[in-house]
Structures are given as C-alpha cells and as structure tokens.
Amino acid sequence: MAQTVTQNQKGIMALQPLDVELRNVFKFFNQEPAVNGVDLDVRQGEFFSILGPSGCGKTTILRLIAGFEKVDGGKVLIQGQSMNNVPPYRRPVNTVFQSYALFNHLNVWDNIAFGLHLQKCRKSEIDHRVQEALKLVKMESLRSRFPRQLSGGQQQRVALARALVNRPSVLLLDEPLGALDLKLRKEMQVELLNLHKNLKFTFIMVTHDQEEALSLSDRIAVINQGKIEQVGTPSQIYESPRTPFVADFIGDTNLFSGEIMNIDATNMQIETKTGLKIVVNRNDNTPNELSQAVVVSVRPEKIQLSLYSPNLPHNCFEGRLINVMYLGTHVNYVVELMNGVSINVLQPNTFGSLPNCDTPIYAWWAESDCLAIGQLKAEV
C-alpha cells in the first residue's frame, strides 16, 4: 500500500498511523542472533508480508510481535504502546498458524467460540460474533463438523474465523497456506485478499513463498540472516532490488559481477569478470563511482532471443542454446554465451515450434531492463 497521507483539522498533512513498530529489536538463541537489530513500521490497515528463506528469523519476528518470545533488546510497540512486558493474551493480536492448531474434540462452532468463552462474553454476543465469523469465511453450513471431517482448506477457514472472532487490531499469519496444495493455495489467497479488503485491519504474514508475498502484499520486508535487506511495495522489491540477495531471492534473475568502467549522464558501462560489457541506465539508487564493484541483475523475462544478430550497440551477446524447458504458458531457455556463462531466458509460449538445442542464438536486452546493484555476491 502506498504511504497514505491524511489531512488533520489544521490542514497539516500527516502520515498514516502505525499499528506495529519494531525498534532495534534483538533476539538470541544459544548466543546467536536470530533477529539482529530490526527496525520495522507496519501501517494501520495494510497487508504486510515478512519474506525470507528458512531460518532467516521471519517467524521469530512474528512470535516477538505476538508475545510468544521475549525481546532480548529493543522495543515492540503495538498502536504506540510498548509490548515488551505484556503477555500474549493481553496483546491486541491474534495468530493463525500453519498447523491450524484446532481443537480436535470441539466442532467448528465451538472452536471459533473458544476465545470468547475465555473472555466470559454473554451467550447472545458469542452467538452473534461466531455467526458473523462463519459468514466471513463461508463456513455456515459446516458449523457442526469436527476438524477431522474437514478438508485442509476448510480447517484453514476455521482457524481464520477463530482468530477474526476476537476482533484483533492486528492479525498475524504464520505461513498460513503452507500446508495446502497449489490449487487450494491460490483459492485461499483470493479469500485472504477479500477478507483484508472487507475487514480493513492490519494483516502481517510470514512466508517463504515469493509469489504469494508479491500477489497479496501492500508492502514486503525481505529478511536475510536476521536482518532486513529491503522494505518496499511488491513492484519496488521486484523491479528495484537494493541488494544481490533481494534480486536473487525474489523471482529468478541472472547476476553478473564486475566493475564500473565508464559513466555518462544517462548510462554506465560495466565489465564483468568474464569479459562481458553491459550498459545499464543510471538512476538515483545505482552506484556511480568508476572501478566500483557492482552486480548487474537481469530478469529472465527481460531478455530477448533471436536466431539472427539484431545489430544492437549494447547488451547483445552471441551464444548457444543448451536447454529448452516447456512450462505450458512459458518456455524457459538456457543459453550459454561465448564466454562460457549460462543465462536463463523466459519467454511466453506463442505456440510456435521450439528451437533445437545447440542452435546458435543471440541474447539481448535493453539498457533499461537491467539493474546495477552496489554489493557483490558471487562471481559469474
């Protein structure tokens, strides 16, 4: 979600309020930092995803917000109030777990009503709120079934309803769709988006699935080894990664490490360690010093292929087709350039005949379709 600006009574422009804040947060396990000095702002009403590989610290961050883990340094604030010494049951949050964590001895209705009974709500209020939650997740007709009688998707809906019935300020989602098959996952992604749109409160989701984060989120924080690499909208994260890790982790990319050899008003020329000369458009975030070490990222779908030389001045390389993978809607090509470097190319399936392996071919891309990043990762 773009940063929302509101106007108060004095006509002064103000930023959208924050629901969750992490301020220089640390968490150690066996003296090793699982969360390493994290600063994070989650705006009121946004769908915010925490994305990263297994073991990066993303679930620990969610548990720190929920109160299941205590911070070893820094502060966790919810709606401006410090939560450091507030137990989980007193925080205005609810968590939906990957395992659903339903009570097998209770039916759907009683699973959803469980938290309201603990709060000692009146029966009439419990009935009203449970019925409301069942309607939200479209489970009214299955209210008497037990978890063992439900599919995975239905159990996930019950877990969501149980969290929503308490009307939390913040809903925490810990890999909520991880146990579902691909088709059901897609369906539940749509349901989550609809719920967020209708309820208009804050969702914070932890996931390792890049496509899921990109399709659901207003903003994403990419985590690596307990630290935040980048926070931004899905398009910012995908189109303008700030580090080689983000470029490589979000979707597929081709990375070339090298040095800046020449700079003018609009472009820079980079020579890779394997001798490729790549021209990249400059922008406010690109490195701009001669001889500076950089990594060039080129997404596979940005690369074009031709059986004949397109006679372009920049970023056109001769190679040989070494692999063709038919993916249905798209075709993935692996091209080995003349210097021995292999690149991946993704193109839409236009139902034409696919070229044979070992075919001489040219790979090319525009200066605007590649990005220079000022940190080294690995040599290619």
Q: What is the pLDDT of residues 47-60, one digit of tens each?
A: 999 999 989 999 99
pLDDT at 351: 66
Q: How confident is the model at residue 291 (pLDDT cuts 50, 70, 90)?
A: confident
Please state, as a whole number, how many other Cβ atoms lie within 10 Å of the Cβ of residue 129: 20
Write out the two tokens for 70: 């205590």
pLDDT in the model for residue 283? 80
- Homologous superfamily (CATH) of 5-239 is P-loop containing nucleotide triphosphate hydrolases (3.40.50.300)
Distances (CA, A) of 25 to 41, 71, 75, 227: 12, 7, 6, 10
CATH architecture of 252-373: Beta Barrel (2.40)
pTM (predicted TM-score) = 0.85
- Domains of the chain, by residue range, sit at 5-239, 252-373
- Identify the residue with better confidence: 120 or 223: 223
Question: What is the per-residue DSSP string for 316-353?
Answer: EEEEEEEEEEE-SSEEEEEEEETTS-EEEEEEE--SPP
Tokens 């990066």, located at residue:
56
Quote the CA–CA distance of 366 and 299 in Å, as a whole number: 11
- Report percent pLDDT > 90 for the chain: 58
